[in-house]
Amino acid sequence: MASFIPDTSRSEFSIKLSIGGKDRFTVRAEDQHGNTTERSFQIHRKAEVVAQVEKPAPVRTDKPIDKPADKPVEKPVSSSTGVTWVIMIENSDYKNFPALQGPADDVAKMQKAFGKYSIQRTINKRNLTKQQIERFFNIELRDLVRTNKVNTVLVWYAGHGRTVSGRTYWVPTDARKDDIYSFYNYGPLKGLIENYSESVTNTLVVSDAAGADPSFYEMTR
């Protein structure tokens, strides 16, 4: 599947392909009229460059270090995930569902926890409708990730959730209780983000959703 801008003849998109054990691959394109085009590509592999790791300087042990007895020393968390962005979706002000008070506190706790990690940017989105959620993930975030060559994307959602026919959904602020099509199916979201750009190597989607259905927690845990 490729996302593109309507009313245009050319659009860029990307997809990840496993080439383990392969020496070539073929791209086949077909339009709505059945016209097809195929093109084959040969894979040329080069030897990886071996990086030299410098040994850390020895730590002196002849001088004692004073440490508080009642408080453990916290070590900074190192990150090897490249350019890392956190996307926080906070839905609390609903039209057809009870308002939620918890997301604001949860967001504050998560931001404090993320402070230990090397995160280059945090994007906060509040009270999104179904159309706004789809536009953000299909267009806005995709373009930002490509432009800034982001390597790791973490999406964290707080708000109402629903389970319908074994599938779990996020509930946009304009969703209707009796209309499944007004919910947002976040199941394919991880794969969508992975195909934003070749620079994306790590993705994580966390659904901290509240659902009245007893099976909802078991489905989303």
pLDDT tens per residue, range 59-82? 555 555 555 545 544 444 345 788
Are the CB atoms for 83 and 151 separated by under 8 Å? yes
Widest distance between CA atoms in the chain: 79
Rounded CA gap, 40 and 27, in Å? 6
Q: Is residue 186's pLDDT more than 80?
A: yes
Of 140, 163, 155, 159, nearest to 95 by C-alpha is 159
More confident call, 160 vs 111: 160
| Per-residue pLDDT tens over the stretch 121-177 | 999 999 999 999 999 999 999 999 999 999 999 999 999 998 888 888 999 999 998
Rounded CA gap, 67 and 167, in Å? 51
Strands (E) in the chain, as ranges, are: 24-30, 36-42, 84-90, 121-126, 152-164, 167-170, 202-210
pLDDT for 48 equals: 53
Contacts of 34 (CB under 8 A, 6+ apart): none
Q: What is the CATH number of domain 84-220?
A: 3.40.50.1460
Quick one: pLDDT band at residue 203, thresholds 50, 70, 90?
very high
DSSP state letters, 38-103: EEEEE----PPPPPPPPPPPPPP-SS-----SSSPPPPPPP--S-SEEEEEEE----SSS---SHH
Of 129, 141, 155, 120, nearest to 3 by C-alpha is 141
pLDDT for 174 equals: 95
Ranking 48-57, 98-107, 128-137 by mean pLDDT, the lowest is 48-57
Sorted by where each begins, the domain ranges of the chain are 84-220
Query: pTM to 2 decimals?
Result: 0.59
